[in-house]
């Protein structure tokens, strides 16, 4: 979500399942509240691992997200969540923890935490320590006490906010290197090291580094589910995608001007669109034969453009990839669609320019133009980018 012309909130996470499990006992959810210009992110860690932990953490994260989006009193919300959750009969603790992060368009951040490891706030490579207020209460009918930690502070350009499940700070427990686990302070120092070494890492890549290190601590056989969430406050990265010929040939020059003047990355999807822009800009289009794929046509090169792909097949595969959590977490294919996915996920503000000329190969002439395949595919891609990846997306029809 864009805070202003110079600020953008980037949110992402990475998970690893406990060794031998097929589902994760941690759940991360995020949502953009457009009316209030807020982003909410929640992380819940279900007790234990596997399906049971996944069900409990999913329910907890969903409740926390819903209450926060609706500005429900956080203390009452926490009590409602804890009343709903079952309690372990032996350890007398809730079956799930939760962390809620609420950031508005001015960068004001509120964090509420119940039993998760403490968050890390980095300003440059320096660790910041916002004031944390603890609220202690008791759920009378359950005869159980609880403590909720709350923090309120202002985020600034360049800040990184990191929060995680105890699979991170307890990784390596019992090993010679970390008999008591990696530990909060070691995690903090590693985050500072990453900022020094890779100052421009995306939120996703930063989380990936932490999760991979935690996995290595356990000899690549994690003894618990591992989840790391990272929020970056940085200058927005922009991407323009042009696809489809415009309804009127007089608009060809307009598209060329967009490519020439756009401040950000640029992608062209569609052979006809690429030919139009190559003609208007007096540039060549060269096929990238290294991107051979049995499903997705080859991508191409054009001077001044980051990516040139085929049109509808590539866009359809791109949509499929974006909707697949498993695929996104392990992109190991190199074709035009995966290249486009990587461009999309590394961008914050995405501008689509969609030509509205009917292509007989893609359009039933008996159907209204609004139901055209190209338009529908772009709209579905935009929705996934906004809802799942919290991107700012604008579609312009030409």
- The H or E element spanning position 392 is strand 392-397
In angstroms, the CA 398 to CA 395 distance is: 10
- CA geometry: angle 315, 320, 326, nearest 5 deg: 140
- The H or E element spanning position 281 is helix 271-281
Report residues of the chain scoring pLDDT below 70. Answer: 1-6, 86-94, 139-144, 326, 328-330, 358-372
In angstroms, the CA 276 to CA 253 distance is: 9
pLDDT reported for residue 290:
81
Pairing of strands 349-354, 96-104: unpaired
In angstroms, the CA 212 to CA 15 distance is: 9
Task: With CA atoms as reference, report the closest residue to 230 among 80, 11, 83.
Answer: 11
Residue spans of alpha helices (H) in 43-202: 50-69, 74-84, 166-169, 184-197
Residue spans in the chain of domains classed CATH 3.60.40.10:
8-234
The C-alpha torsion from 374 through 375 and 378 to 384, rounded to 10°, is -130
Q: Is 342 left (phi over 0), alpha (psi -120 to 50) or beta?
A: alpha
Tokens of 221: 């056989």
Q: Which residue has the tokens 């595969």?
A: 317
In angstroms, the CA 10 to CA 3 distance is: 11
E strand map for 244-326: 265-269, 285-287, 300-302, 305-309
Instruction: Check residue 360 and report its DSSP letter.
Output: T
- The H or E element spanning position 327 is helix 325-328
φ, ψ (nearest 5 deg) of residue 355: -70, 145
Whether residue 396 contacts residue 352, with contact meaning beta carbons closer than 8 Å, is answered with yes
pLDDT reported for residue 1:
55
The C-alpha torsion from 300 through 242 and 315 to 361, rounded to 10°, is -90
In angstroms, the CA 79 to CA 156 distance is: 32
**How deeply is 213 buried, as exposed, middle or buried, from its count of CB atoms within 10 A (0-12, 13-18, 19+)?**
buried
In angstroms, the CA 265 to CA 238 distance is: 6
Task: With CA atoms as reference, report the closest residue to 147 among 158, 130, 133.
Answer: 133
CB atoms within 10 A of CB 398: 18
In angstroms, the CA 75 to CA 309 distance is: 51
- CA geometry: angle 298, 287, 354, nearest 5 deg: 70
Whether residue 95 contacts residue 88, with contact meaning beta carbons closer than 8 Å, is answered with yes
pLDDT reported for residue 267:
97
Under CATH, which number does the domain 8-234 receive? 3.60.40.10
Tokens of 126: 């320096």
pTM of the model: 0.80
Whether residue 323 contacts residue 313, with contact meaning beta carbons closer than 8 Å, is answered with no
In angstroms, the CA 106 to CA 245 distance is: 39
């Amino acid at each position: 979500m864009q805070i202003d012309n110079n600020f953008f909130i980037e949110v992402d996470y990475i998970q690893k399942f406990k060794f031998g499990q097929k589902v994760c006992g941690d759940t991360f959810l995020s949502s953009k509240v457009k009316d209030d210009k807020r982003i909410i992110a929640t992380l819940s860690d279900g007790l234990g691992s596997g399906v049971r932990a996944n069900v409990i953490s999913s329910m907890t994260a969903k409740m926390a997200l819903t209450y926060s989006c609706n500005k429900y009193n956080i203390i009452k919300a926490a009590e409602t969540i804890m009343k709903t959750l079952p309690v372990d009969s032996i350890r007398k603790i809730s079956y799930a923890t939760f962390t809620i992060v609420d950031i508005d368009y001015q960068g004001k951040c509120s964090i509420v935490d119940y039993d998760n490891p403490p968050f890390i706030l980095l300003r440059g490579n320096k660790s910041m320590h916002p004031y944390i207020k603890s609220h202690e209460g008791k759920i009378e009918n359950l005869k159980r006490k609880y403590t909720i930690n709350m923090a309120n502070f202002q985020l600034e350009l360049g800040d990184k906010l990191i929060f995680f499940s105890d699979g991170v700070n307890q990784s390596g427990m019992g090993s010679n290197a970390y008999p008591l686990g990696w530990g909060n302070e070691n995690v903090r120092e590693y985050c500072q090291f990453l900022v020094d070494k890779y100052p421009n890492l995306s939120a996703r890549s930063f989380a990936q580094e932490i999760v991979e290190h935690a996995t290595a601590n356990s000899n690549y056989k994690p003894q618990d589910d591992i989840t790391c969430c990272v929020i970056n406050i940085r200058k927005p990265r922009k991407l323009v995608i042009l696809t489809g010929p415009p309804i009127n040939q007089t608009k060809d020059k307009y598209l060329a001007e967009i490519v020439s003047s756009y401040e950000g990355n640029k992608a062209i999807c569609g052979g006809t669109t690429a030919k139009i822009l190559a003609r208007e800009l007096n540039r060549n289009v060269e096929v990238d034969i290294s991107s051979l794929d049995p499903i997705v046509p080859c991508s191409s090169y054009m001077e001044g453009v980051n990516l040139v792909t085929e049109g509808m097949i590539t866009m359809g595969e791109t949509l499929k990839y974006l909707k697949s959590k498993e695929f996104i977490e392990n992109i190991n294919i190199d074709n035009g669609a995966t290249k486009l996915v990587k461009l999309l996920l590394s961008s914050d503000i995405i501008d689509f320019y969609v030509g509205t000329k009917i292509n007989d190969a893609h359009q039933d002439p008996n159907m209204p133009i609004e139901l055209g395949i190209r338009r529908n595919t772009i709209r579905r891609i935009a929705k996934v980018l906004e809802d799942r990846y919290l991107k700012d997306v604008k579609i312009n029809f030409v």
